A and B are shown apart, each in its own frame.
Chain A
Amino acid sequence: MTQASVPAQAGVPAQAGAGPMVRAEQVHKSFGSIEVLKGIDLEVRAGEVCCLLGPSGSGKSTFLRCINHLEKINAGRIWVDGDLIGYRERGGKLHEMREKEVAAQRQAIGMVFQRFNLFPHKTALENVTEAPLLVRREKRAEVRDRAVALLERVGLGDKMSNYPSQLSGGQQQRVAIARALAMQPKLMLFDEPTSALDPELVGEVLDVMKDLARDGMTMIVVTHEIGFAREVGDSLVFIDGGVVVEHGNPREVIANPQHDRTKAFLAKVL
């Protein structure tokens, strides 16, 4: 219907000459004395759907949270669309960004959480309109139209005045996706978006994500859904022990894993 007013995705993969959407170089992250990430290198092109797979505790979620600076990295660099995340490089020295600058960088990066994290005191529609109104100070009518279109797109046109506690897990997660899209991000991060859902609700969330992928959205998805990775993913990254163990085409990696650890993991989950 109002599909036309849905934000045009940064998609169009053939931005000739443009660098990768995400570039990570030797990313290290420690919590106290425990090193969770031990040098992760990764490149994600614009329009690519990259699936991160790995056993729990392998560091894949932590890496995702580093991309929008929810976690500070201890060494290495991350660029999103050419911008260094969290720091400014001046005269060969890194300067920490101010809180406002970090917040500005995050506007272009949408994130969807395992536990949805919808704002419980706001309706579905208010959840979606909150950030564009508050952060971008956009016009109320425009934001509202866009939010309605987004909620219709994720199949929740009839649930707009419901509070999160009145929605099922799958519906909440779809509102969360719409909320992230309302900021018109160039990159979407998904942190195990279906892990907290009842099995029969997983499909509806995956369908929305597939739709997004078809639209050309750049997506990094931490998931245990092998089927989704195989069907929608452009690349698959297997992380274990804080390092990238294997990286390649999802269908090839799943059918014919090269590394013993990948084989062992896939044998357990398939």
Chain B
Amino acid sequence: MSLDTDSPERARPEPIQAVPVRHPGRWVAVAVIGVLVAMFVHLLVTNEAFNWSFMVDNMFRPPIMAGVRGSIALLVTSMLIGIVLGILLAIMRLSGNPILRGVAWAYTWFFRAVPRLVLAILFGNLGMLWSRIEFGLPFDRQIGALFGVQDFEARLFGFSATDLLTGFVAGMLALGLSEAAYMAEIVRAGIQSVDEGQTEAAQALGMTQGQILRRIVLPQAMRVIVPPTGNETIAMLKDTSLVAFVPVSTELFFQIRAVGSRTFQVFPMLVAATIWYLLLSSVLLVGQYYLERHFARGSGRAGQARARLRGMAVGGGGAAGGAGGV
């Protein structure tokens, strides 16, 4: 039977040349969108309130560039705190120790429940609690009083609260600590996405929990962890604008509002802020693309392609096999 269809006598049929289905709806949509875009462009060009020349003149001025640098520094430091603390919290959350589990849960509960804006202002005002922050024996005064010694102090070193808790540090802590709560959930999801059989196989080889986590589970979890972390980074870039209310002065949004209110050109400067955040987010998007591509490598299809390039390809046709054990 199968021979019949292959027989050379049967001519190859003509390629199909059918009349395609018409899509009149698309043309209507193009017309509507065209009109809307034209209206928008008209608004941008003709409305005096935009004051484009003023915006362009001012959006690259030194204080605003310092603000851009400040925002980026804030982004990098708070994400570092968030990622490191987040991994730690995720491991605590998944550990067999009920106390660590409880602490991680409580931390996540608190920092996910309180809005970042509130946290930022709260941390900015922590200086009201202490004038100095000192390290040493806890409850030293109380212990001294217990033994009848007045004003007993056992302190090693200390800082003035205003030195330590600058606006920048307060903003960094507020954003970083809150980010850690979200990162903990992302890392936890990544760890749990790794097949249980991986842990069992590693256990059977005599590895300890720490070794399994470091060498077997986390590297595989990275593929799940990296994409949402990229999203978190972009979200964090936008959230750095919240610390303008701490207040932090070396920050993009603060600087832009300052220029706006000083010159009574509020709207052009808000447009400048929009453009700046668009620009920086786009840079991060490009970074995210390359990072994801990097972590997809070495595993699954990408790794397969690379190995084939190296000429170590699978000989026969037996190369099938899905993403084994993923």
Contact = CB atoms under 8 A, between A and B. Distances in A.
Q: Do A and B assemble together? A: yes
Nearest to B322: A165
A164 B325 contact: yes
- Residue among A100, A163, A164 facing the most chain B CB atoms (10 A cut-off): A163
B80 interface: no
Nearest to B220: A121
A180 to B, nearest CB: 7
Contacts of B326: 120
Given A135-B207, A162-B312, A166-B319, A116 B324 contact: yes
Given A161-B307, A166-B307, A167-B314, A120 B324 contact: yes
Contacts of A164: 321, 324-325
A166 B304 contact: yes
Interface stretch (A34-42, A102-110, A224-232, A238-246): A102-110
B197 A117 contact: yes
Contacts of B202: 119, 131
B209 A117 contact: no
Contacts of A116: 324-325
B46 to A, nearest CB: 58
Nearest to B308: A166
A87 interface: no
Q: How large is the interface on A (under 10, 10 to 19, 20 to 34, 35 or more residues)?
A: 35 or more
A113 B197 contact: yes
A191 B314 CA distance: 27
A119 B216 contact: yes
Contacts of A167: 314, 318-319, 321, 324
A115 interface: yes
Contacts of A130: 205, 215
Interface string A171-190: 11000100110010000000
B29 interface: no
Interface string B195-206: 101101111111
A163 B307 contact: yes
Given A115-B197, A165-B300, A120 B323 contact: yes
A109 B320 CA distance: 31
B299 interface: yes
B34 interface: no
Contacts of B230: none
B204 A169 contact: no
A4 B302 CA distance: 37
Contacts of A109: 204
B307 A121 contact: no
Given A106-B204, A107-B206, A172-B321, 15 more contacts: A104-B206, A113-B204, A116-B324, A119-B198, A120-B300, A163-B304, A164-B325, A165-B299, A165-B322, A166-B304, A166-B321, A167-B314, A168-B321, A179-B205, A183-B205
21 contacts: A100-B208, A103-B206, A103-B208, A105-B206, A107-B206, A113-B200, A113-B204, A117-B201, A117-B325, A119-B198, A121-B219, A130-B205, A158-B315, A162-B312, A163-B298, A163-B299, A165-B300, A165-B322, A166-B321, A167-B318, A172-B324
Q: Which 9 A-B pairs have the closest CB atoms?
A: A107-B206, A117-B201, A111-B204, A131-B205, A168-B318, A117-B197, A164-B324, A106-B206, A135-B206
